[in-house]
Copies of this chain bind each other. A is one copy, B any other.
Amino acid sequence: MLLPEYEMKSRLKKVQDLLVAKDLPGTLVYYDELNIANGWYLSGWCPQFESGCLFVPRQGEPMILGGPESEPFAKTDSAIKKTKNIPVFMVPEEEYPNATISSFAEVFDEIGIKGKNQKLGVVGLDKMPFGVYQLLKKDLLGIGLIDITTEYEQFRKIKSPWEQEQVRKAFAIADQAFQMMKPLVREGISEIEIAGAGEGKARSLGANWFAFKAIVASGERTSGVVPTASDKKLQIGETVMMGLSPRYNGYAGVFGYTMVVGGKPSEAQRHCINDMVEAYRITKSNLKPGMIGKDINAVTHEFVTKQGYGKNIVCPFAHTIGLMEAEAPFFGPNSNDVLRPGMTVCVDVSVFSVPDVNGVRFESAFLITDKGPEPLSPYMDQLILNTKV
């Protein structure tokens, strides 16, 4: 499951070129299990229990600044092998009698970054815990922090051929998990049993984790936008919303699907489900290179509003998928982002708190190509498009 060396080197070069352009001697990249993307991008790895930073110098080898529980784990699994332990990334109050512990100050000193006129890049500053920031600030001894998150995250927008392959595999796993879950939808089963069956299948097929806890919600709970599965039992006639996002080599796949327990929708359910399938089709048809985010959004927004669901819209209808299930660019009502070949984009249409229906969501994703959107899951794309209740 390792990040291939050529892929890591090509990414490292992009980052180091950015450091040259910004005239920075190096950058810290913060990451943890909730914000894996920026660290994973270079290392193909994330610690568990602990958090950490990557340190990327302008030239030469990057290193992991983490904790002693992760050090040997990083050595086997990460594409970055050089490590140092910094106390602030460890489990608070836990003690490690044999660990060699450094401070940020020692690391900066060793690298030769020192003194008031120096600057250092930082990626993920907004997500860095305040405790980490405070210690970092103290150890910087006057070194200025330059936030280069926005520039760094640009590298993740267009997916390389290897990345596209991982995303495809993640979608293939999601498909098989869905095929395990769908037949379980029946009166009396609990939401969490369906979730467990799908997640267990996805893991057994090699999913290295999930971008979110399985969404399996029924009845009123479908209005929860991203409701995790509970022990509530499904009842005949209820709307059921399902979503799963397995990661493969860190890259997320996803599906979103909605059906009615027992297969006999009410008039309200019938209208809403069919309308959202049409909203999915409309959004997909606009995923052409050169399209601008807010224009993609506007067309679907107008259609959904016209069908009477304007006030039931919570989220916009298209967003990028990659190392996070939903990551920039987001193609919402104010987005000027341009759709470009190599982007992997979810059509994610949903409405919530609809009277006599509750929530409906359909989601699948596409690789943007010169010729238009190419389904990352031809299976789920067709299934959604052919849903007519």
Q: Give the complex CA separation of A47 and B227 in angstroms.
A: 8
Residues of B within 8 A of A1 (CB): 230-231
Say whether A18 faces chain B, with CB atoms less than 8 Å apart. no
Q: Give the complex CA separation of A85 and B313 in angstroms.
A: 16
Residues of B within 8 A of A22 (CB): none
Say whether A282 faces chain B, with CB atoms less than 8 Å apart. no
Say whether A166 faces chain B, with CB atoms less than 8 Å apart. no
Say whether A141 faces chain B, with CB atoms less than 8 Å apart. no
Q: Which of A7-15, A65-73, A108-116, A376-384 contacts B (4 or more CB under 8 A)?
A: A65-73
Taking a contact as CB atoms under 8 Å apart, the answer to whether B332 and A94 are in contact is: yes
Say whether A355 faces chain B, with CB atoms less than 8 Å apart. no
Q: Which of B126, B206, B330 sits near A130, CB closer than 8 Å?
A: B126
Q: Give the complex CA separation of A214 and B227 in angstroms.
A: 23
Of the candidates A68, A200, A205, the one having the most CB atoms from chain B within 10 angstroms of its own CB is A200
By beta carbon, the residue of chain B nearest A326 is B91
Taking a contact as CB atoms under 8 Å apart, the answer to whether B196 and A314 are in contact is: no
Taking a contact as CB atoms under 8 Å apart, the answer to whether A98 and B128 are in contact is: no
Say whether A60 faces chain B, with CB atoms less than 8 Å apart. no
Say whether A299 faces chain B, with CB atoms less than 8 Å apart. no
Minimum C-beta distance from A118 to chain B (A): 21
Residues of B within 8 A of A125 (CB): 130-131
Say whether A203 faces chain B, with CB atoms less than 8 Å apart. yes
By beta carbon, the residue of chain B nearest A211 is B49
Q: Which of B95, B97, B99 sits near A330, CB closer than 8 Å?
A: B95
Taking a contact as CB atoms under 8 Å apart, the answer to whether B129 and A73 are in contact is: no
Please judge, given known A-B contacts A77-B227, A224-B76, A353-B72, whether A95 and B203 are in contact too, CB under 8 Å: no
8 pairs, CB–CB < 8 Å, chain A vs chain B: A75-B224, A77-B221, A91-B330, A93-B332, A94-B319, A125-B131, A127-B131, A199-B199
Which 3 interchain pairs have the tightest Cβ spacing? Answer: A200-B200, A196-B203, A126-B131
